[in-house]
Structure 1
Amino acid sequence: MSDHTVELFLLKCAVIETGLRATLAEYDTGQPNGLSQADDEQLEPFIKQFDLANRKNAAHMSRYYEIFYLLENDIRRLIVETMEAAHGAKWWDTRVPPGVLEEVRKNREREAQAAVSVRSEDDIDYTTFGQLGDIIRANWSDFAGMLSNQSAVSRVMAALNMLRGTIAHCGVLAEDEVDRLKLAIRDWFRVLEGPKN
């Protein structure tokens, strides 16, 4: 093998490595725990004071929280895009069930009275997971062409909502519940495949 061939090979590898690093950087969401290094260093002395079993459970459950965060916000995006396409920008005022509107109003009011930072400018971000299902069911004609069927959506949303409670309220999922979560997420993506003819 000549020096020229080796040099050419190394140059090609360098180009590939540069492209790979750029692609990985594009999809990198930061450190595994989501904290910047500065935040992590500031919090570490406090975190070390917590019970070791709780720290292990928190690390174990963080992945399930992340999955649920992604899922719930993806469902919100699906609803917003679908409803805006079907009913325009003012869909929230005319197409959301009254009970959901009232609960969102109360949630916003509680947040304003607590003098905390505003969570979001979008009303849908104040809905619970169950209320997202209510919006879909109340507007089924807008979702019928993209989601498999209404009973499947209701079943999957109910299963996910049950599991969400443990995740969102700092519980630990038992192994069979982890299996249930995996199945429910797979079921959701089957629902997204649309109606079967």
Structure 2
Amino acid sequence: MDSSHHLRSFGMSGMMITDELRSIEQQYNIELGHIAPAIKQSALEYYPQFEKEVRQQAAAMAQYYELFYCLEQSARKLITETMDEAEGPDWWEKKVPQAIREYVNKLIQDELDMGMTPRSEQAIDYTTFGHLFDIIGANWAHFEPIFTSRLAVQRIVKNLNMLRGPIAHCCPMSEDEIDRLVLTVKDWFRLIG
């Protein structure tokens, strides 16, 4: 047997062990922390065919995607909870700028027209990161008690939106931009009073 066959066998054994651990996690409702959430088996079978360098870049970038995912979800939650409390359950229709609502409605319709499963029942889940600041800015009176400075929020969101590009478009980030991302996320949390 050639070495590539041994390597494939080793990889497949690892995937089988991973699947068994995932089953244990689901059965006992525990997290063993061995891997990120599962990718469907059909997608995994193509993974070894990608170049090693690309796989290594993907693994390195995964942590920044995860950081940004958490940040964006927490920003959406903050906005939703703040606006629900201040304006009631119909805040989306009453207080979100019309251009954002139109963008979201078009995106929802485009996904439906493509036969895709809706990503969410919440309209805010269809917004971009930039939209989130626009919603905050349009309703600043409700967010002023939360954030220490409107200009700082604007600057940080602009930085985060720029830093999001390489993550969202699957490009490696330079070390300086990784440092900038970490500092900007720290700035975001420092802004929340």
Q: With structure 2 as the length reference, what TM-score do the two structures score?
A: 0.81
In 2: Cα distance, 1:28 partner to 1:47 partner: 24
Structure 2 residue aligned with 1:28 = 31
**Size of the alignment, in residue pairs?**
166
How far residue 26 of structure 1 moved from its aligned partner, in angstroms, is 7.9
In 1: Cα distance, 2:62 partner to 2:169 partner: 12
Please give the per-residue CA displacement for 1:53-81, whole angstroms capped at 9, x wherever unaligned: 11000000000000000000000000000
Superposition pairs of residues 1-197 of structure 1, within 5 angstroms: 28=31, 30-35=33-38, 39=40, 42-192=42-192, 194=193
Quote the sequence identity (%): 44
Root-mean-square deviation (CA, aligned residues, Å) is 1.7
Higher-Rg member (1/2): 1
Please give the per-residue CA displacement for 1:114-165, whole angstroms capped at 9, x wherever unaligned: 1011110100000000000000000000000011110000000000000111
Structure 1, gaps ≥5 residues long: 1-24
How far residue 98 of structure 1 moved from its aligned partner, in angstroms, is 1.1
Amino acid aligned to 1:60: A
Structure 2, gaps ≥5 residues long: 1-27
Change in 2 beyond 3 A, CA 1:26/1:160: farther
Amino acid aligned to 2:145: G
Amino acid aligned to 2:110: R
How far residue 28 of structure 1 moved from its aligned partner, in angstroms, is 3.4
Q: With structure 1 as the length reference, what TM-score do the two structures score?
A: 0.80
In 1: Cα distance, 2:87 partner to 2:177 partner: 38
Amino acid aligned to 1:160: L
